[in-house]
Amino acid sequence: MDDLYRELIIDRYKNPQFRGELEPADISYHDDNPLCGDKIRIDLRVDENDIVTEAVFSGHGCSISLASADLVVESILGKTLDEVKEMDKEMVLELLGIELGPVRLKCALLSLKVLKAGVYGLGEGESSDDLVA
Amino acid sequence: MKAVTTHSNVLDPEKIRKDFPIFSKEIHPGVPLIYLDSAATSQKPLAVIEAMDAYYRHSNANIHRGIHALAEESTANYEASRQRIADFIGAAKSHEIIFTRNTTESINLVAHSWGRANLKSGDLIILTEMEHHSNLVPWQILTSEIDLRLEFIPVNAEGLLDLDEYKKLLTQNPRLVSFTFMSNVVGTINPAKEIIHLAHEAGALTLVDAAQAVPHFAVNVVDLDADFFAFSSHKMCGPTGLGVLFGKEALLDAMPPFLGGGDMIKRVKLRSFTTNDLPYKFEAGTPAIAEVIGLGAAVEYLDDIGMDTIAAHTKELTAYALERLEEVPGVWLFGPSIEHKAGVAAFTFEGVHPHDVSQILDRDGLAVRAGHHCAMPLHEKFDLPATTRASFYLYNEKQDVDRLIEGLYKVKEIFG
List chain B domain ranges.
13-32+307-415, 50-304
Q: Which residues have CB under 8 Å from B362's CB, separation 6+?
A: B27
User: Least CA distance to A62: which residue of chain B?
Assistant: B353
CB pairs under 8 A between A and B: 47
Q: Is B415 on the interface with A (CB under 8 A)?
A: yes
Instruction: Report the residue from B355, B363, B379 with minimal CB separation from A107.
Output: B355
Mutate to test the interface with A, among B334, B352, B355 (most CBs of A within 10 A): B355
Q: Does B363 touch chain A (CB under 8 A)?
A: yes
Q: Do B386 and A1 touch (CB under 8 A)?
A: no
Q: For residue A80, what is the domain's CATH number?
A: 3.90.1010.10
Phi, psi of B253 (to 5 degrees): -60, -40
Written as one string, the DSSP assignment of chain A is: --GGG-HHHHHHHHS-SSB---SS-SEEEEEEETTTTEEEEEEEEE-TTSBEEEEEEEEE--HHHHHHHHHHHHHTTT-BHHHHHT--HHHHHHHHT----HHHHHHHHHHHHHHHHHHTTPPTT---GGGG-
Overall residue count recorded for chain A in this entry: 133
Cβ of B360 within 8 Å of Cβ of A63? The answer is no
* List of chain A residues whose C-beta atoms are within 8 Å of the C-beta of residue B362: none
Indicate the pLDDT class of residue A1, thresholds 50, 70 and 90.
Answer: very low
H or E element at residue B360: helix B354-362
Q: Within a domain: residue A63?
A: yes
ipTM of this predicted complex?
Answer: 0.87
Q: Report, at the CATH architecture level, how domain B13-32+307-415 is classified.
A: Alpha-Beta Complex (3.90)
CA–CA separation, A69 and A77 (whole Å)? 13
* Residue B8 pLDDT: 54
**What is the predicted pLDDT for the residue at A10?**
92
Residue A10 Cα, gap to closest chain B Cα (Å): 7
Q: In what order do the strands lie in the sheet with B243-247?
A: B97-100, B243-247, B228-232, B205-209, B174-180, B124-128, B149-153
pLDDT at B5: 45
Is the distance from CB of B375 to CB of B185 less than 8 angstroms?
yes
User: Residues near B172 by Cβ (< 8 Å), separated by ≥ 6?
Assistant: B124, B151
d(CA B97, CA B89): 10
Instruction: Give the chain A residue whose CA is nearest to the CA of B369.
Output: A36
Nearest-CB residue to B414 (from A5, A38, A104) = A5
Distance from the B360 Cα atom to the nearest Cα atom in chain A, whole angstroms? 8
What pLDDT does residue B416 have? Answer: 80
H or E segment and range at residue B232: strand B228-232
Query: What integer pLDDT is reported at residue B4 of this predicted model?
Result: 46
Residues of chain B contacting A34 with CB distance shorter than 8 Å: 376
Cβ contact B355–A34 (<8 Å): no
Whether A16 is in a domain gets the answer yes
- Residues of A within 8 A of B353 (CB-CB) are 36, 38, 60-63
Domain total in chain A: 1
Is the pLDDT at A26 greater than 90? The verdict is yes
Residues of B known to be catalytic: 374
DSSP code at position B91? -
Q: List the domain range (segments joined by +) for residue A69.
A: 3-121
- Dihedral of the CA atoms B94, B237, B130, B206 (nearest 10)? 0
Helix axes A102-119, A89-96, angle to 10 degrees: 120
A62·B353 Cβ contact <8 A: yes
Comparing B165 with A35, the larger pLDDT belongs to B165
In angstroms, the CA A60 to CA B125 distance is 35
What is B207-220 written as a DSSP string?
Answer: EEE-TTHHHHS---
CA distance B391 to B185: 9
Interface test with B, best of A12, A32, A36, A105 (most B CBs within 10 A): A36
- Give the separation between CA B245 and CA B229, rounded to whole angstroms: 6
CB contact under 8 A, B386 and A37: yes
- Write the CATH number of the domain with boundaries B50-304: 3.40.640.10
Instruction: For residue B267, give the 3-state DSSP assignment.
Output: strand
Distance from C-alpha of B165 to C-alpha of B18, rounded to nearest angstrom: 47
Q: Do A39 and B356 touch (CB under 8 A)?
A: no
Interhelix angle B192-201/B163-170, nearest 10 degrees: 20
Cross-chain residue pair A37–B356, CB shorter than 8 Å: no
Contact yes or no for B386 and A10 at CB 8 A: no
A36 → closest Cβ in B360, B363, B386? B386
User: Quick count: other Cβ atoms within 10 Å of Cβ B260?
Assistant: 12
Select the residue of A2, A5, A35 nearest B371 (Cβ to Cβ).
Answer: A35
Q: Is residue A85 part of a domain?
A: yes
Nearest chain A residue to B370, by CA: A36
Distance CA A115, CA A130 (A): 13
Is residue A126, in this structure, part of any structural domain at all? no
pLDDT along chain B (416 residues), means of 10: 54 95 94 97 98 96 88 94 98 98 98 98 98 97 97 96 98 98 96 98 98 98 98 98 98 96 91 94 96 98 97 97 96 95 94 93 95 87 91 98 97 90
Judged by CB atoms closer than 8 Å, whether chains meet at B385 and A35 is answered as no
Q: Is B282:B328 a contact under the CB 8 Å cutoff?
A: no
